[in-house]
Chain A
Amino acid sequence: MDLKTLTYIIVGLSFALYIGVAIWSRASSTGEFYVAGGGVHPVVNGMATGADWMSAASFISMAGLIAFLGYGGSVYLMGWTGGYVLLAMLLAPYLRKYGKFTVPEFIGDRYYSSAARLVAVVCLIFISFTYVAGQMRGVGIVFSRFLEVEIVTGLLVGMGLVFFYAVLGGMKGITYTQVAQYCVLITAYTIPAIFIALQLTGNPIPQLAFGSTMADGSGYMLDRLNQVVTDLGFAAYTEGNKSMIDIFAITFALMVGTAGLPHVIVRFFTVPKVRDARSSAGWALVFIALLYTVAPAVGAMSRLNLTNTIQTGEVGSPEGNLSYEQRPEWMKRWETTGLLKFKDLNGDGRIQYYNDKNKAFAEKAASFGWKGNELAVDRDIMVLANPEIAKLPNWVIALVAAGGIAAALSTAAGLLLVISSSISHDLLKGTLTPDISEKQELMAGRIAAAVAVCIAGYLGYNPPGFVAQVVAFAFGLAASSLFPVIIMGIFSKTVNREGAIAGMLTGLFFTFGYILYFKGIFITPMAENIPANWLFGISPEGIGTVGMVLNFIVAFAVSKVTAPPPKEVQELIEHIRLPQGAGTAQAH
């Protein structure tokens, strides 16, 4: 059977599964819509959280980023897992005890202020839309590449599906669909990795394979990889090529940002007990780690395979490079998407792929008759092209397509739900129209989810500049605005309304401003985005760390000179610190 038919069958089957699960688990009350009635088993919740968390970026982009960054890619691995330690210990159990539906609701109650709640809603909506647009984009790319349909068609199908189960099922529908999606995506990620690990090293476990010796007897894989990339003028794979302070700051911003992302936090509102919230974070990380510990192996193996495909012989000998005429099928297919580009600069009909920005090596290359790097490979294609590069059977390639779609849809659904609940619950019920009935609120939530799906689809089709900066914006803003106020809300009894609002706004404006200053989104950049211009040498991706520190300082300073929180709030803090007596999540 040809690849296209197989892909249609496998993707079609996965969709049928999601729809079946969604019908079986539809929501009937606001409690079920917002937090699945608070009755989800911690292991199930952990698995759903894993799918919710692992987005198109984790599935499609991350291993490719690591492949090209080597050690520098560690920021994503540590950053996007280490945040769960913070969640498990600092947030999840206490917010579960608090027992309401949304993150802005906690902020509004703890800081006895609807202004604080509104600031939180604005942060949440901006973060979530930035993030969801990237997911829809991912769905579109997978559809157009593997099912060979227009990007718009892909988007519409994805939107229709998310609409169906997020709008009907709410949190309950999403949770159980995400469990199914987790199974699809983890299978799709690990099967090709196991095959490739076997091919290269004879060891089927990817986590061990990239520390094993090569099957062809050329020594340890990572040593071999260091050798082949440095031979072409690239930095050694296992060594750092970014400044230490920037790696530190980015990792920290990603960790804290993870713990501050509303669609992740709200997952822990769905389990029955405080005790379950703690263990559920552990289970979530187990399921996430299954992919995240494989990703660096995929990165290393795909970099090695890619380099060996192009540099077939000795560096510098005319026959050492792949002839363009003999390039493999997968290169032709990806060339049509524009994500892989070849330009024969020296007109020898062969592909030279090397680091022409390395001055010393570029001079050496010139002596071979090379006139610059001739191949541009988009990092996003590494995971998707990986099974083709390794010449795996067609059903594996089809499975990867289904996995990529599962990863994008599960994250999109989780994000759409927090957007809709912040509108129906925080904005309408909590602030503007407090008199609506539960039924009306549920309807408002469904309408908000439907509108959000449409906006997300539009942003995915026509992505504004800020969508490409998900890492800087979503994580930076979550780290600098939401995370500190939640932490202070639990661990400090002195931080008050004035302090929290001032802190949130400081973190928000500082981080937002810094990113705009260098990235020039909405405006022209005011300075070149290079290390020499950065504050303390910290890139826009890592600046959320500084924003967070400022938020803490401002909040404590302002709280010191203004009136302390009232007695009821002190009691609320005492109450959330003790696990005893956590009921299921309640409306007011």
Chain B
Amino acid sequence: MRQSFFISSVLVGGLVCAEIWISASAQQSPQQIPDAQQAADAQQPTAAQQLGQRLGAQVHSTEGYGGNFVDGFWNPVYHEDSLERGTGPDQGDYAGLPITPEERLHAQIHDPEIMDIPEYQCRPHPSIYGMRGAGGLVRIWQDLDPVTQQQTKIELRLRWQQQHRVIWMEEHEHPPPWAAHTWQGYSVGHWVGDVLEVHTDMLKASYIRRNGLDTDDKATADERFFRYGNYMVHIMMVTDPGVLTEPLIKSNNFVLYPNATMSPYPCQALTEIPRAEGAVPMHLPSQIKAGLEWAIRNHVPIEASYGGAQTMLPAYQDYMKTLPPNPPLSSIEKLTADNESKK
């Protein structure tokens, strides 16, 4: 009995000492962690680095074992380009976009009335625009292989028009060239450290802006997903040689929205405006000038409103000062009125 009591005491004592040592270490750490300068000098990890190391298993990921840090409900934060992304851009507003002259012509011919033809009413945003547009809540989740627990897919669901997207994270056979294209395209992704990189192709012809700037079915996209605390930054890079002279790069921010619920978004196409079958709303060549209203009202030189890669550069502002003044709005309004009467 004495012997068993002694052994038990030693064991308990050992456990208590270990616990005291661990707690002491934890208590000592905040006081004894050197600041960044001292750490650099002493080659000791900083507090942030130590925190990162302790959280490594939760946040950081290795190849094939993706982290779950993009999982959850994400609410878009319209701190960037809120007017364009929310209410939508005006026709004629193409400044700062690397579009070809032919794409600008295509946008000028665009008549917004085309958006209410029955075949367009239930179109979802394509994946190259969905994260940017006024789609609302985004839910992201991962699928894991039941045996290996390796990440096989990351799926996204955007509320508006119930856009459902799959990003393949494992080896998956790419559809052949003759397969049908889809709104969300075919996406493959992989982790580079904490950053999710995604490439998408097989997209339907769709759009990069809601004022007539369309893409064709040759477009591809590359994305990056970054997480900073409860914020996610999404970078979209769209490539379409027939439409863009260089990749169009846009960033979108999201904030984590715990305990969110996503409502369904049913859609049924209706005939909202009586229109003869087969008639397609569009602007004829004589009506293109009516699209200059945005530039004139906002005192943007018309040439600048045409867009092009050069309009993305800060130095372009100096060039703008040399451009001639815009014509009066009255001249454009008369043209618009004449054109409306011809419809």
User: Do chains A and B interact in one complex?
Assistant: no
